[in-house]
Chain A
Amino acid sequence: MSPQGEVIFRHRLPVRVMHWVNVICIVILLGSGLQIFNAHPALYWGADSRDATLILELPKFPGWATIPGMQFLAMGRVWHFFFAWLFVINGAAYVLYTIFSGHLRRDMVPTKSEWRGIGRSILDHIKLKHPHGDEAKRYNVLQNIAYLSIVFVVLPLIVVGGLAMSPMMDSIAAGWVDIFGGRQAARTLHFIAAAIIVAFVLVHVFEVIVTGLVNNLRSMITGYWRVPK
């Protein structure tokens, strides 16, 4: 064993590739999504947009946050829909991979004892106390809850909310969009889901930095990760 600790193979190639495709997709979908949102920066709850359904009006997002930088709805839509396809294909491949490779069952679903240790895990996260040695080789319970809820709740919600905004998709089984409270409510859910993803990414990047930026980045590029002693 080297003096700096044991090195393990942590992330297999498909996971690494899909992770970075995801990074590109999320950045572009967010920027182009804000561009689209700027065309009508208000949110409603219901089927349509009227005073009675209005819930939030926002100022336009600044040009540095949007794709393209200037106000250009048509081009924002072109970017958004191309990367939406890529994002959905990549996400579906990831879900299939996690299920059939055993990654989901083996690494992501928390065990009974991990569930029981959730209180301690919350305290450890608040104190920025991170696991070492063998304990660090497995994702911790909060990490897994975050991953699972993003993959199986928030991402499906953002995709369905996006589809609900398509008038043609709404016609496929007329009225299905009412399950989400109507088209404008689905638009609001799409926006809320995007905000949750931004929050997830911020926490994710924060944890990546405080638990060893170089080590973590290297493991998502080469697959190899040094276990903290």
Chain B
Amino acid sequence: MKSKPYFEQRRDRRKLLRAALVGLASGTLAGCDAVTQNDTAVEVLRSAESLTRNVQRAIGRRAMAQEFAPADAAPAFRANGTTNPAGDAYAKLAASEFAEWRLKVDGLVQKPLELSLAQLREMPSRSQTTRHDCVEGWSCIGQWKGVRLSHLLGMAQLRPEAKYIVFHCLDQMEEDDEDSVYYESIDLDDAFHEQTILAYELNGKPLPVANGAPLRARIERQLGYKQPKYLRRIEAVSDFASIAGGKGGYWEDQGYNWYGGI
């Protein structure tokens, strides 16, 4: 059998290669979308999250977030997510400057608490000027003042089974879905961290509604979505599988990582 002339072989090879490259390029993105639809594949991709968390925890369990000078604070602290919780209940609380508002601390504790804003303000406080990093990519510096979460947990006395702290909030994320109330959860490393505070002041003034009035969490070594606003209840739990979507937070239930240190 006579083989094709050399230049024809070369042309054929070139055609084949071109087809392969075009297929590779369009196939990669289509392939990635197909993988995103596959639960097992997504599980594999998500395995990197625990690797990241374990490595970061191993090298910096007690590390302190960078603190800035109060003068570094942004002129207006950027508000994101809910900026004014819907509903009459919140409006009523806000109208009386949160005099009727109470923070509950319960769950796996020896002594459940119910605290007013005035009581929280009388407790030992911590001030810190820190950078808030949103998962979207932006950062904003603000000066916060509040009570350390460890102080409240010390008062309530965690039971040994407690592994996580769950924050329940006043804001509902979707208007017609009562199960879409914001919540978040952290482990005890973050709960007892020196800089983890429940802030009632921003830049020297009472916390504005847009930033989570009357009380929001500051968990400085994690992204913004891990630092819930509009707190109403703090619950100590052994696991969070039975709460809402079971992933430990409103955004986690939408697919975001539970570990928000990265």
Contacts and interface: CB of A to CB of B under 8 A. Distances in A.
Interface string A158-187: 000000011111111111010000011001
Given A81-B262, A187-B137, 16 more contacts: A39-B136, A40-B136, A49-B78, A49-B140, A65-B29, A67-B29, A73-B136, A74-B257, A78-B45, A78-B257, A167-B133, A167-B221, A168-B222, A169-B262, A171-B221, A177-B66
B262 A168 contact: yes
B48 A85 contact: yes
B255 to A, nearest CB: 4
A67 B66 contact: no
Contacts of A72: 36, 255
Interface string A64-86: 11011100111101110110110
B222 A75 contact: no
Interface string B54-79: 00100110011111100010110010
B261 interface: yes
A28 B33 CA distance: 11
Contacts of A217: 17
A40 B63 contact: no
A49 B80 CA distance: 14
A81 B47 CA distance: 10
B262 A69 contact: no
A90 B76 CA distance: 43
B68 A79 contact: no
Interface string B72-90: 1011001000000000000
Given A85-B51, A167-B220, A167-B223, A50 B251 contact: no
Contacts of B72: 47
Interface of B: 10, 13-14, 17, 28-29, 32-33, 36, 42, 44-49, 51-52, 56, 59-60, 63-68, 72, 74-75, 78, 131, 133-141, 220-223, 251, 254-257, 260-262
A36 to B, nearest CB: 7
B14 A183 contact: no
Given A47-B72, A50-B74, A77-B257, A165 B133 contact: yes
B108 to A, nearest CB: 26
A78 B46 contact: yes
B220 to A, nearest CB: 7
A48 interface: yes
Contacts of A110: none
Contacts of B17: 213-214, 217
A36 B32 contact: no
Contacts of B140: 48-50
Contacts of A84: 48
